[in-house]
Amino acid sequence: MGADPAGIGSDKAVISIFDIEWEKREARQIALEIFAKTTLGRKGGFEGIIRNRFITYHPLIISVDAVGIGAGVVDNLEEDGYPVLRIFGGGSATEKDIYHSRRSELYARLRDWLNPGKPGRIKLINNDDLRVQLTQIGPMFQTVKGKIRAPSKEEFKKKNKRSPDELDATVYCMVKEEEWKERPGVLEISLGKPSQYSRNEWAQTVEEEDEDREDEEQGHYGNVPLVDL
């Protein structure tokens, strides 16, 4: 799950959820939820929505923009034991010799998924704002030090007069499992599968349930058409 918090203002708060098989190079976006002018709080607002979606989807990790208003959201979720990963877009990439920043690294991963010349297949929710932002993000380029750099959020907003909220929440899902320094514990929720299983049991259960959900691509408004890019 990727989450891009926002307070009262023009920016939107967005949650994106992916089902990714890194070894098989298959990914599908199963939810993209947009909330305008949200407020924060443990029992309500965007933080409460994240908690609710955790119960619904049981993501193995919740990647949250931890800059600014998102810092408090992450603090509260961590305190209650949720498997949260802080995303600092301007911070160091995990592959520091290749990418200019963490944001550049995550955007490059989505770019690779979308590249028809590279192995893998991805399905994205057919959302107009997400589609437009993908075309507006601009080319990635190399810095004078030879590192790959994506435009910052501020550069995007200055050029396009809008914030890439849907796209940011989407790229926050491009986190590889081996990047987690310590595997966070997953809450035991009686309503939920697969969080109630161990990892091996979960993998087996997911395979058994794949046939039941082949045609069930769930988005914010129920069944949402997906688009192959």
Task: Quote the Cα angle for 78-79-83, to 5°.
Answer: 30
Instruction: Pick left, alpha or beta for residue 45 (phi over 0 → left; psi -120 to 50 → alpha; otherwise beta).
Output: left
Compute CA distances 223 → 1, 183, 217, whole Å.
19, 32, 6
Query: Could you tell me how many residues make up the chain?
Result: 229
Instruction: Give the Cβ contact number of residue 109 at 10 Å.
Output: 17
When computed from its CA atoms, the radius of gyration of the chain, rounded to whole angstroms, is: 17
pLDDT tens-place string over residues 20-30: 887 888 999 99
The pair of structure tokens assigned to 137 is: 């993000």
How far is the C-alpha of 149 from the C-alpha of 98, rounded, in Å? 9
Check residue 195 and report its DSSP letter. T
pLDDT at 42: 53
Average confidence (pLDDT) over 152-171: 91
Given a cut of 60, whether residue 188 has pLDDT beyond it is no
Given a cut of 80, whether residue 217 has pLDDT beyond it is no
The model's confidence at residue 69, banded by pLDDT at 50, 70 and 90, is confident
Collect contacts of 55-58 with beta carbons under 8 A, ≥24 apart. 55/189, 55/191, 55/192, 57/1, 57/17, 57/30, 57/31, 58/186, 58/189, 58/192, 58/193, 58/194, 58/195
How far is the C-alpha of 141 from the C-alpha of 144, rounded, in Å? 10
pLDDT tens-place string over residues 71-121: 999 999 999 999 999 999 999 999 999 999 999 999 999 999 998 888 889
Among 106, 97, 176, 110, smallest CA distance to 142 is for: 97
**The domain at 2-228 falls in which architecture?**
2-Layer Sandwich (3.30)
Are 175 and 85 contacting, i.e. CB atoms less than 8 angstroms apart?
A: yes
Location of structure tokens 């599968």: 193
The model's confidence at residue 141, banded by pLDDT at 50, 70 and 90, is confident
Report the predicted TM-score, pTM, of the whole model to 2 decimal places. Answer: 0.77
Location of structure tokens 């987690």: 180
Task: Quote the Cα angle for 65-70-73, to 5°.
Answer: 120
How far is the C-alpha of 135 from the C-alpha of 120, rounded, in Å? 20
pLDDT at 51: 93
